[in-house]
A = this chain, B = another copy of it.
Amino acid sequence: MTDYRAPIRDIVFALDNLAGLDNLCDFDAFGEIDRDTVVGVIEESGRFFEQVVAPLYRAADEGGGSKWNQDGTVTTPEGYIDAYRQYVDAGWGAVPFPQSYGGGGFPWISAIAMQEILTSADLSFSMGPLLTQGAIDMLLHHGSEEQKEVFLPKMVTGEWSGTMNLTEPEAGSDVGALRTKAVPHTDGSYRISGQKIFITFGEHDMTDQIVHLVLARTPDAPPGTKGISCFIVPKLLVNDDGSLGERNDVRCASIEHKMGIRASPTCVLSYGDDGDGAVGYLIGEENQGMRYMFTMMNNARLSVGVEGLSLSERAYQQALAYAVERKQGRAPGAPKGELSPIIDHPDVRRMLMTMRSTIEAMRGLLYIDAAGVDATRHADDIAVRSQADELVDLLTPMSKGWCTDMAVELTSLNIQIHGGMGFIEETGAAQLYRDARIPPIYEGTNGIQAMDLVARKLPMRGGAVMSDHLVRIRASADEVAGAEPQIADAVRAAADDLEAATTWLFEHGLTDIGSALAGATPYLRLASLATAGWVMAQQAEVATGLAAGASSEDDKRYYAAKVETARFFCTQIVPQTAGLVPAVCAGAAPIMGLSADDLASVPLA
């Protein structure tokens, strides 16, 4: 399990050939930064994450993860503090942020590629930097100049970490139900009191300072999501000279005992237990907190999708290594009396190909989505920006929902390939599987992603955003049809299925939201498979050309393999769309046919 290797070549393949990294680097905003600079940073950081972070993963979990102490402090696993110090020293966290605050000014997609590797190295560890980046993003977009000057430079380096405080016991998916209070103080700040739960790295020993971004309600706030404001609540108050001052009134009351990501402390935070509240500083205007959150939501959800990719990639590398090593039985065609490595058994090969090809489709989807985020923000042409905006809106629920669902399935295949050994904790396959079960839940459950796709994204521009997408999918099939007719046929069939389901939703869902939502989950899967087919059709098309023009035998093999995985994925996995259309188009009747009362009360005995 310490033999994870950053899949640099696959990452660069996706950046170059699917995400259009070259084009992105041409945006004025990125100045001198070109494709090679970006690739260089990814390679170098990849080596670092591989060597410094990846070896911590297994032991951090085995030791039980982060520990809460009676005095409210949290001790992270052995090695975390040191690895994090090296991470800060190297400046990896700063790469995608503006140079004005000490950042590297790189495209966001660089951060996504680095995140892929860091998360494969250790999901728990990666969550600290990830949350810090989210908090930086919020401050960059909505903080005041003063707030930026006080907090951003040290957060960009990673010397200070950041958190997002949304959830409360009664306010999970329904953020609008939150009750944490924020009372204005005479000095212009606020006093925050209440309890937040599920706060990732809400307390830890890797930085002195933790900058909490906290959603709360002011006294006269309207109910629901319209009455939520966002506050900066630093663990330690910051003196006028920028040095750290008094302890603010926020305490970690406990951490959760979780099935996975045990090394990532998931905290209960209490605000204002000792007095009239913790000192908080309003970001932007009152009651605009949810709007601010929404501007960063695509970004955050994309990153959670990347977690799905990262866990799957590490699981695949482990499964592949085991399948080459382990010998059992005789595969079809093997000489009599000879034991075969299990990679030669067709059923094991199917599992490996499923993992590998799905990972490639996920990576393509996520990096295309990430390129869209950069284009949305920085494209020089305003029309390109708004096109990118639509694409990102459409793809993000698939990036988050599908990639995290797939991670559950692919880490499960890793266990299955290991057989009984996969169920033994020492092997490490179990840890990846346990860790993989949380991304489908946080940052909007996958059910919420599905509803987002159906209820918010489909209606965009009267449905034209999805029709444009269908045109794109079909165009990719047309382009690959000459070289790979099977792929083209499969992707066209998937587009037809997606169109049929979409049409049904438009015809029925606009008049009956219940019916649309009832089919949302199978629709998300269907749309994701068709979109993944689009990604893989592009991969096949590009790789066919690259293989033909390859100058070395190694390159030829590499690109030919990319065509093979695309063919497997399109002919074996994508056709599952056909089995999903009926579930979308059945509407609410079969789902709601049994009333909640009947469902809950039909006697068991």
Please give the residue numbers on chain A whose beta carbons come within 8 Å of chain B beta carbons, in ascending order. Answer: 5-10, 43, 46, 167, 170, 172-174, 177, 197-198, 223, 256-260, 317, 320, 324, 327-329, 332-333, 337, 339, 341, 343-353, 356, 408, 412, 415-416, 419-420, 422-426, 430, 433-434, 437-438, 440-442, 445-447, 450-451, 490, 513-514, 517-518, 520-522, 554, 557-558, 560-561, 564-565, 567-568, 571-573, 575-583, 586, 588, 590-594, 596, 598-600, 602-605
Contacts and interface: CB of A to CB of B under 8 A. Distances in A.
Number of copies: 2
Q: Please name the 4 residue pairs, one residue from A and one from B, whose CB atoms are nearest each other, closest first.
A: A579-B579, A576-B579, A259-B430, A575-B582
Contacts of A197: 420
Contacts of A351: 447
A582 B592 contact: no
A596 B343 contact: yes
A452 to B, nearest CB: 11
Given A561-B602, A605-B5, A520 B420 contact: no
A446 B9 contact: no
Contacts of A256: 423-424
A175 to B, nearest CB: 10
B424 A441 contact: no
Given A437-B412, A437-B433, A423 B339 contact: no
Which of A490, A513, A598, A600 lies at the interface centre, i.e. has the most chain B CB atoms within 10 A of its CB?
A600
A431 to B, nearest CB: 9
B592 A346 contact: yes
A347 B579 contact: no
Interface of A is mostly: helix
Nearest to A47: B605
A347 B586 contact: no
Given A329-B173, A579-B576, A582-B571, A554 B603 contact: yes
A437 B419 contact: no
A14 to B, nearest CB: 13
A423 B259 contact: yes
Contact of A259 (B172, B434, B561, B599): B434
Contacts of A173: 328-329, 419
Contacts of A7: 604-605
Contacts of A257: 424-426
A408 B412 contact: yes
Nearest to A513: B332
Given A259-B433, A345-B447, A575-B583, 8 more contacts: A6-B605, A345-B517, A346-B517, A351-B447, A352-B599, A420-B441, A490-B582, A579-B580
Contact of A591 (B9, B337, B441, B568): B568
23 contacts: A5-B605, A7-B604, A7-B605, A9-B603, A167-B420, A172-B328, A172-B420, A174-B328, A317-B604, A324-B596, A324-B600, A346-B588, A351-B447, A352-B599, A415-B441, A416-B445, A420-B442, A422-B441, A558-B603, A560-B598, A564-B598, A568-B593, A575-B581
A351 B568 CA distance: 30
A166 to B, nearest CB: 11
Which of A8, A422, A590 lies at the interface centre, i.e. has the most chain B CB atoms within 10 A of its CB?
A590
Given A174-B339, A198-B420, A412-B408, A572 B582 contact: yes
A433 B573 CA distance: 25
Contacts of A430: 258-259, 437
A427 to B, nearest CB: 10
Contacts of A568: 590-591, 593-594
A54 to B, nearest CB: 14
A292 to B, nearest CB: 21
A183 to B, nearest CB: 25
B602 A350 contact: no
Given A419-B173, A419-B441, A596-B341, A591 B353 contact: yes
A258 B602 contact: no
A332 B423 contact: no
A573 B172 CA distance: 29
A490 B445 CA distance: 30
Contacts of A604: 5-10, 317
Contacts of A558: 602-603
Nearest to A514: B332
Contacts of A346: 514, 517-518, 520, 588, 591-592
A350 B521 contact: yes
Contacts of A324: 596, 600
A514 B346 CA distance: 7
Contacts of A434: 259, 434
A497 B327 CA distance: 35
A256 B337 CA distance: 31
A122 to B, nearest CB: 18
Contacts of A423: 256, 258-260, 437-438, 441
Contacts of A437: 412, 415, 423, 430, 433
Which of A174, A324, A426, A594 lies at the interface centre, i.e. has the most chain B CB atoms within 10 A of its CB?
A594
A304 to B, nearest CB: 13
Contacts of A348: 447
